[in-house]
């Protein structure tokens, strides 16, 4: 049944879009709960503990950006996918910097939305059998979805975690932006490669001094290394 794949909270006030999202996510096997304003969405997160949140930026009352900001300030790192009508890169980057894991811009393909939700939930639940890995001062435990840098816990969004885990899976290997988009986001829209750069920048900010493990291969992509040279 749908509940087997986890519950998705949809926070959307446009009925046509809401019903489309509900229909496709339910057909994909997810449980679905709907709220139409930001305040009720926050209450639903606390009450239902969803596997993922599909969050419209333009909600009435408390907008999607404030909902996401509030969740992250509480230490709640439930995966969030923004739905936005603003086709502006600055708005999208702002959303990611606030702790969103991904975004889709209206009008969007409901199948693409389902694929992105499925990818986030699958990666979060499928890492339990993997062993912890360490590169330099950074240790990543896939089973507990936990990252430590020099012994201090680092809070990451689901996508930030998955990106770091993918890089740390093969230390020294340079992954192109296109490879990272395909493996971490599950998309082939390579015009979105700026998304990778934003997430790497956020990772570096959160890792502090330990961010030195992330190396930039100019014009190509990124790698991780525990070497100090």
Residue 1: pLDDT over 50? no
Rounded Cα distance between 40 and 33, Å, is 11
Residue 91: pLDDT over 70? no
According to DSSP, the β-strands at 221-224 and 214-217 are antiparallel
Best CATH choice for the domain 2-125 from the list 3.40.50.720, 3.30.420.10, 3.40.50.2300, 2.60.120.650: 3.40.50.2300
Q: What is the pLDDT of residues 100-126, one digit of tens each?
A: 888 888 888 899 899 889 888 877 665
Residue 97: pLDDT over 90? no
Range from 15-19, 131-135, 193-197 that averages highest in pLDDT: 15-19
Q: Which fold has domain 133-224?
A: Arc Repressor Mutant, subunit A (1.10.10)
pLDDT band for position 2 (50/70/90)?
Answer: very low
Are 169 and 135 spatial neighbours (Cβ–Cβ below 8 Å)?
A: no
Residue 84's nearest CA partner among 74, 69, 96, 72 is: 96
Q: What is the pLDDT of residues 33-89, one digit of tens each?
A: 999 999 999 999 989 989 899 999 888 889 998 999 999 888 888 889 998 887 666
CATH topology of 2-125 equal to that of 133-224? no
Q: Where are the domains of the chain?
A: 2-125, 133-224
pLDDT band for position 99 (50/70/90)?
Answer: confident
Contacts of 167 (CB under 8 A, 6+ apart): 175, 214, 222, 223, 224
């Amino acid at each position: 049944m749908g509940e087997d794949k986890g519950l998705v909270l949809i926070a959307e006030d446009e009925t046509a879009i809401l019903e489309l999202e509900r229909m496709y996510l339910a057909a994909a096997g997810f449980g679905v709960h709907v709220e139409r304003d930001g305040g009720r969405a926050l209450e639903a997160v606390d009450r239902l503990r969803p596997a993922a949140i599909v969050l419209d930026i333009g909600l009435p009352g408390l907008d999607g950006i404030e909902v996401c900001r509030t969740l992250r300030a509480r230490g709640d790192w439930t995966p969030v996918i923004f739905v936005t009508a603003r086709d502006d890169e600055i708005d999208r980057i702002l959303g990611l910097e606030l702790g969103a894991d991904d975004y889709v811009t209206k009008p969007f393909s409901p199948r693409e939305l389902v694929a992105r939700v499925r990818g986030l939930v699958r990666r979060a639940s499928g890492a339990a059998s993997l062993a912890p890995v360490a590169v330099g001062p950074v240790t990543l435990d896939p089973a507990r979805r936990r990252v430590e840098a020099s012994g201090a816990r680092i809070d990451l969004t689901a996508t930030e975690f998955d990106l770091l885990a993918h890089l740390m899976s093969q230390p020294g290997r340079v992954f192109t932006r296109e490879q990272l988009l395909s493996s971490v986001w599950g998309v082939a829209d390579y015009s979105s490669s700026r998304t990778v750069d934003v997430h790497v920048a956020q990772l570096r900010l959160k890792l502090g001094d330990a961010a030195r493990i992330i190396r930039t291969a100019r014009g190509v992509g990124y790698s991780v290394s525990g070497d100090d040279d």
